[in-house]
Amino acid sequence: MPLSILTTHGLLLFIGAELIFSLTPGPTVMLITAYGFKGGFRDAAAAIAGTQTGNTLWYVICVAGLGALVTASPLLFQAIKLLGAAYLIWLGASALWKSRRAEKDAHGPKLMGRPYIQATLTQMGNPKAILFFGAFVPQFLDTHAALLPQYIIMFAITFIGESIILTGYGWLAAVGGKVAAHAAWRDRILPQLDRFAPDLVIVSAGFDAHLRDPLAQLRLTTEDFAWITGELMTIARRHAKGRLVSALEGGYDLEALADSAAAHVRVLMGN
């Protein structure tokens, strides 16, 4: 079989096809990037883990059914293989068609605040996942050889390849979110404060803006609070002879509150 995963040609073709499919954005990619942009890489990584949990469950369901089908009816397996090939062609054509259309009213996914659970449910609720595995895997399956090693090889390639690509999406989104947050302070808030030239800088330290806080959902990190504190100290030194007063305002996640307050104080002390 020229496309068998057990041949070099089939293996390379499977890897190439898997990378192309993984690079194509879908609902879970949108979810991962949304969590990465708003909550940082930690939330994106949790969403990636949820996506891979859903993929693993669908893959196990798929290969279990294929294994039984190969044993019970080789002819029906061949029919499903042909239908799967047709579905993959249709999937590619649909992706090309959608990419040519401008979706002006497109909105990002609504985030639940539980990235792992939401990503798992999103992937498990996506019927295209099992259709994809059911269409893709049979194209590279050698029914005359042991099936389990082939399933393991294909799963390992799929899992590793998609993990790398989804991690890339999540990391880029997290970096973009941090850049956007810093830009708002750097381009809008800090210049206004600098122009005001205060004689005393008073900080109401609201650490409830931390990404782990259950209420505010402003998605700042401990490092963001340290950076903002440093910028405020710079303005205090420039206009107020270093006079800066900070009062604790709030924070409802105790671990995030402790980490953020400690980072804030370290910068105030010059560390």
Question: pLDDT at residue 7 above 80?
Answer: yes
Cα distances from 177 to residues 117, 131, 183, 191, 220, in angstroms, run 22, 34, 10, 21, 10
- Find the largest Cα–Cα distance for the chain: 84
Locate the domains of the chain by residue range. Answer: 8-177, 197-268
Question: For the CA atoms of the chain, what is the radius of gyration?
Answer: 25
Instruction: Report, as an integer, the average pLDDT of 133-151.
Output: 82
Q: What is the DSSP letter of 208?
A: G
Question: pLDDT at residue 233 above 80?
Answer: yes
* 3-state SS assignment for residue 57: helix
160 Cβ contact partners less than 8 Å away, ≥ 6 residues apart: none
d(CA 153, CA 155): 6
Lowest mean pLDDT among 67-71, 85-89, 215-219, 236-240: 67-71
Instruction: Report, as an integer, the average pLDDT of 195-199.
Output: 95
- What mean pLDDT, rounded, does the chain reach? 82
| pLDDT given at position 1 | 46
Nearest to 62, CA basis, from 142, 144, 124, 145: 124
Q: Tokens in use for 1? A: 């079989």
- What digits encode the pLDDT tens for the residues 144-188? 888 889 889 989 999 999 999 999 999 999 888 888 878 888 899
Judge if pTM exceeds 0.75: no
- What digits encode the pLDDT tens for the residues 91-100? 556 555 655 5
